[in-house]
Amino acid sequence: MKQQKNHTKILITGAGGFIGGHLVKYLKKQGYSKIRAVDIKSPNKWHQLDDEVENISLDLSEKNNCYQAVDGIDEVYNLASDMGGMGFIENNKALCMLNVLINTHLLMASKQEKVKRYFFSSSACVYAANKQTNSDNNGLKESDAYPAMPEDGYGWEKLFSERMCRHFREDFGLTTRVARFHNVYGAHGAYRGGREKAPAALTRKIIEAQLSKNHEVEIWGDGKQTRSFTYIDDCIKGIDLIMHSNIEEPINLGSEEMVTINRLVDIIEKIADVKLKRNYNLDAPKGVRGRSSDNTLIKKYLGWEPNTSLEVGMEKLYSWIYKEIENTSS
């Protein structure tokens, strides 16, 4: 198997992003030595950069760039996407929809290059809105994506791209695998600037309140909306398992540990050893009322599910962001 990995040529798109950067390092540790990492940003702006792999800056919304990226590749991990947290998604619907160009052109190039396996990173944003109106959500099953009523913009693009993967598999024999990510968090991601997600955003706000001794924090919504959050190491392990499985349909890759946003703040406050006044911004983007992952299928197929507790994962995220803020302010 080690020898096979040494000969497998890997393409990771979105490699300059949060999940992509972690995937590069993971696959290297697994024994893959021929990795091409691609991102639209110049490498000096990537979240993580590994000089031992082939790093290229390409705009993959352009068809010719996708053919260049896929040339000679055996396995494609498509993580490229113009996206961010709920604040970005709700205010940039057209940009999110344009991500369809990336997956479409990569599929076309993969078909021509006879790629052996193709992974697409989808999202829990594909799930029907009427299944997420209650904070006591019992977990979203894969079948809850239909009848279609996904998140406007970003969710529609992900759902359409899932179908593209399915039809390239059915019509052209390209082996495609699709995972629906549920709120992935961890170190080496965005924690300020508008693209950060709730765990990183709230951690940053609480650290800033802690350091400034202005013991207040703004929370988007009323704090009673619910989510489940997936630690990055679990997400990366799940990508590997799903990519090399026989699972043909889209499948959840997320935690079943659902918490309110207030509970998430409780956890961060405990880590920081502070207690803050909570100011609720009811006009801010807040997404659906309740969302978490139902892991029945992934446990059935793989005998595995993401299992890092939120307390453990958030402690690691807090430590990383605290050091980042210290370094930037010194």
Q: 123-181: per-residue pLDDT in tens?
A: 999 999 999 999 998 899 999 999 999 999 999 999 999 999 999 999 999 999 999 99
The domains spanning 2-184+231-253 and 187-227+258-294+307-329 adopt the same CATH topology:
no
CATH of 2-184+231-253, one of 3.30.1340.30, 3.40.50.720, 3.40.50.410, 3.40.1710.10: 3.40.50.720
| Residues annotated as part of the active site | 154
CATH of 187-227+258-294+307-329, one of 3.40.50.2300, 3.90.950.20, 3.40.50.300, 3.90.25.10: 3.90.25.10
Query: Could you give the CA distance from residue 138 to residue 154 in angstroms, rounded to a whole number?
Result: 23
Q: Catalogue the E-assigned strands of the chain.
A: 9-13, 34-39, 54-57, 75-78, 117-123, 176-181, 184-185, 216-220, 226-228, 230-231, 251-253, 258-260, 277-281
pLDDT score for 330? 63
Cβ(35)–Cβ(10) below 8 Å: yes
Query: Could you give the CA distance from residue 253 to residue 113 in angstroms, rounded to a whole number?
Result: 28
pLDDT score for 1? 47
pLDDT score for 105? 98
- Amino acid type, 238: G
- CB atoms inside a 10 Å sphere around CB 318: 22
Strand-pair partners of 218 = 279
Cβ(178)–Cβ(7) below 8 Å: no
pLDDT in tens, the chain (330 residues): 444 777 899 999 999 999 999 999 999 999 999 999 999 999 999 999 999 999 999 999 999 999 999 999 999 999 999 887 778 888 889 999 999 999 999 999 999 999 999 999 999 999 999 999 999 988 999 999 999 999 999 999 999 999 999 999 999 999 999 999 999 999 999 999 888 999 999 999 999 999 999 999 999 999 999 999 999 999 999 999 999 999 999 999 999 999 999 999 999 999 999 999 999 999 998 889 999 999 999 999 999 999 999 999 999 999 999 999 998 876
Domain residue extents for the chain: 2-184+231-253, 187-227+258-294+307-329
Query: Could you give the CA distance from residue 325 to residue 124 in angstroms, rounded to a whole number?
Result: 30
Q: What are phi and psi of 135, to 5 degrees?
A: -70, -15
pLDDT score for 293? 98
